[in-house]
Amino acid sequence: MPPRHARQRRVVVTGIGCVTPLGCGAAATWQAAVAGKSGIRPITSFETDGFPVRIAGEVRDELDLGNISRKEARRLDRMIALAVAAAREAVEDADLSQGVDHDRAGVAIGSGIGGLGALEASFDVLARRGPTRISPFMIPMIISNMAGGYVSILHGLRGPNLCHVSACATGAHSIGEAARIIERGDADLMLAGGSEAANTKLGVAGFTAMRALSMRNDDPAAASRPFDVDRDGFVMSEGAAVLVLEEAEAARARGATARAEFLGYGLSADAVHMAIPTEHAEGAQRCMRLALADAELGPTDVDYLNAHATSTPAGDPSEVRAVRSVFESHVNRLAVSATKSMTGHLLGAAGALEALLCVRSLETQTLPPTINLDCPDPECDLDHVANKARETRVDVALSNSFGFGGTNATLIFGRC
């Protein structure tokens, strides 16, 4: 892949880490995704009696929090703990034990909702026991930036430390903005991604009230079905994903291996509605075109697109129309998959996880499938890598993330 923007510092991915409903760790998650497995099951984190929606994507395995004591772990909302586990793997994968200037290494880990579990628990304490029994750790447990803050503390990263909150585009915005920080010279290395743990009573009830969630309680594994004519909403999931981004020359100097190159980033707003995209998703179109321009690539240069595709009746065909508008005749040669069919929707962590899966696609020359695509919607007609992974040449991968509030982000990565 030729260097991008000779006037700018190049950015590469040197480490990845995640915890998802498909497994703890990037290897386990990737293996399950390529196998076309679903991580959606009945909810176990709370009693669902009386809930119209009783399914979600949960992280079932025990989290590896390193040397954090049990006492300290109890002071972390699950959103923070998920981020800590994902970041720990990414740091180990990138081997940041030596050759890193910690004054020029930072963190950009966001969350769409924040510490909802800790907030719910605190309201319960307030109602039952009064205001004087609220934990002094409540505020640090619920604020979204504490995931990145805690990761910064654990790994001694003293560079930029910030948190983006942009609903379902959070993870992608975090990665794009972290890359910008490196490109303009404010840091040489950034841990970037997203974390979410909103599978709580309030979270599930709230999204249910919006009529956004699938109610396929009798068949959880088949509930998330992007582009399928029988889709009935998205499936909430928890998890976290973190990428280590580095300036290419600094990474080479310390002997790091580049997994992929960051090529482009676009962002835009629909400026129309809080939750519903326009019919032709003009905001998404602008976002993809901006990312392509930033990467100095044309539509025909893109081999693979990881779609936002949440499995909602309105969102999926809107994105397809946007993709068709941007890629025109090349769309018939563009492979598109919706990995939320397997992972569910990780909300603020979704964009980071899907970026990670794009990196793995570039490394392995394998595309994860769109599962549960039994009866494709004619309005969503694309090459959806249906139901089975595909081995093929992949040099450039694009990932879309769109969030409530009409916020959009597109990331582009290239094979090293």
Element holding 240 (H helix, E strand): strand 239-247
**Token pair for 365:** 């020359």
Angle in degrees, CA 101, 102, 106, rounded to 5: 120
* Residue 220, C-beta contacts closer than 8 angstroms, at least 6 positions apart: 38, 40, 41, 42, 55, 235
Among the listed residues 24, 168, 287, 358, the single catalytic one is 168
Among the listed residues 155, 164, 173, 308, the single catalytic one is 308
36: left (phi over 0), alpha (psi -120 to 50) or beta: left
Ordered DSSP codes for 125-167: HHHHH-GGGS-TTHHHHH-TTHHHHHHHHHHT--S-EE----G
287 noted as active-site residue: no
18 noted as active-site residue: no
How many CB atoms sit inside 10 A of residue 13's CB? Answer: 31
How many CB atoms sit inside 10 A of residue 129's CB? Answer: 10
Asked if residues 343 and 21 have their Cβ atoms less than 8 Å apart, the reply is yes
168 noted as active-site residue: yes
* Residue 254, C-beta contacts closer than 8 angstroms, at least 6 positions apart: 98, 99, 100
**Token pair for 390:** 């595909």
Among the listed residues 155, 164, 173, 345, the single catalytic one is 345
Catalytic positions are 168, 308, 345
